[in-house]
Structures are given as structure tokens and as C-alpha cells.
């Protein structure tokens, strides 16, 4: 699987220099301690560009944090399609939180709730790519 590289050369330099989990062993960083398996959001969101953010995304670079939700970011133009996709997948759409536009809750209350951050910033297309 080919890893996509950021277009911005400064971001590429920073990523090369970034130290994974300072003062933590590679064995610790490679161990996964999530309470539940992260679901395959690509199957739900299909053609919507999204990125994992928050504590789950941080797991790639630092020791695990106990988290009980998944945070993703999408483009504002995809919000209604994403809401419909989560509803079709059996999620219930909850009220907005201070940081997210909506939360998709699993119907049976097992599994992660998904906080969906919706942005229309000019840099978002490149970030999602």
C-alpha cells in the first residue's frame, strides 16, 4: 500500500523529523489498546472524502489515549450526504457538540459514536487528499 505524501515540503520535513511518542518504546507505540475495533468508515461514507482526527488519529504518533468516540472531518458540501449515509448504516444523528456539527450514534449503543466536524476552509481539499 502506497502512503500519500503531503504536497507541502515543510510538512514533509516535519513528518520526517517527528518523533513518535517521545520516551515511549516502539513496542509500546505499536501495541493497540483500543477498547473496540474501529469500524471501516469507508464502507459507510463511500465517495465522501474524510479524515480521521482527534484521539484516534493521534494513536499513530503517540501513546494511546482512552477515547470513547471517533472524530472525523469532512467538507461542508458533503454534510447532508454524510448524514444520510450514517442514517442508512443504522446510526442515529444526535445534536451538535461545541466542536462538531453532528454526532452519529450506533443504534445499539455498542461501538463508537462518530463526531463529525464540518469545515469549508480553503486548505481542506488538500488536507483531505
pLDDT tens track for 67-125? 678 889 999 999 999 999 999 999 999 887 777 789 999 987 777 888 999 999 999 98
* Per-residue pLDDT at 83: 94
Phi first, then psi: what are they for 6, rounded to 5°? -60, 145
Task: Round to whole Å and give the CA distance between 79 and 118.
Answer: 7
CB atoms within 10 A of CB 97: 13
- pLDDT score for 80: 95
**Which three three-digit cell numbers place residue 36?**
473496540
Average pLDDT, the chain: 77
Task: Report percent pLDDT > 90 for the chain.
Answer: 26
Please state, in angstroms and rounded to a whole number, the distance separating the CA atoms of residues 78 and 20: 33
Which of 11 and 27 is assigned the larger pLDDT?
Answer: 11
pLDDT at 42 over 50: yes
Predicted confidence (pLDDT) at residue 37 exceeds the cutoff of 80: no
In this prediction the pTM is 0.62
| pLDDT higher than 90, residue 39 | no
Cβ–Cβ under 8 Å, residues 3 and 15: no
Instruction: Give the pLDDT mean for 56-67.
Output: 66
**Distant-in-sequence, close-in-space partners of 35: CB < 8 Å, separation ≥ 6:** 66, 68
Asked whether the predicted pLDDT for residue 20 surpasses 90, the reply is: no
Q: What is the pLDDT of residue 1?
A: 44
Q: Where on the phi/psi map is residue 109: left (φ > 0), alpha (ψ -120 to 50), or beta?
A: left
Instruction: Measure the CA–CA gap between 100 and 53, rounded to whole angstroms.
Output: 12
**Which SS3 state, helix, strand or coil, does residue 104 take?**
strand
Distances, alpha carbon 6 to alpha carbons 10, 66, 120, 127, in Å:
9, 28, 19, 8
Amino acid at each position: 500500500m502506497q502512503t500519500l505524501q503531503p504536497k507541502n515540503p515543510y510538512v514533509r520535513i516535519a513528518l520526517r523529523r517527528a518523533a513518535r511518542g517521545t520516551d515511549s518504546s516502539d513496542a509500546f507505540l505499536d501495541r493497540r489498546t483500543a477498547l473496540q475495533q474501529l469500524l471501516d468508515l469507508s464502507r459507510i461514507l463511500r465517495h465522501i472524502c474524510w479524515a480521521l482526527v482527534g484521539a484516534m488519529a493521534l494513536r499513530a504518533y503517540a501513546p494511546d489515549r482512552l477515547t470513547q468516540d471517533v472524530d472525523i472531518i469532512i467538507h461542508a458540501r458533503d454534510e447532508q450526504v454524510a448524514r444520510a449515509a450514517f442514517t442508512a448504516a443504522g446510526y442515529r444523528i444526535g445534536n451538535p457538540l461545541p466542536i462538531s456539527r453532528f454526532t452519529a450514534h450506533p443504534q445499539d449503543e455498542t461501538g463508537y459514536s462518530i463526531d463529525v466536524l464540518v469545515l469549508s476552509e480553503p486548505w481542506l481539499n488538500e488536507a483531505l487528499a
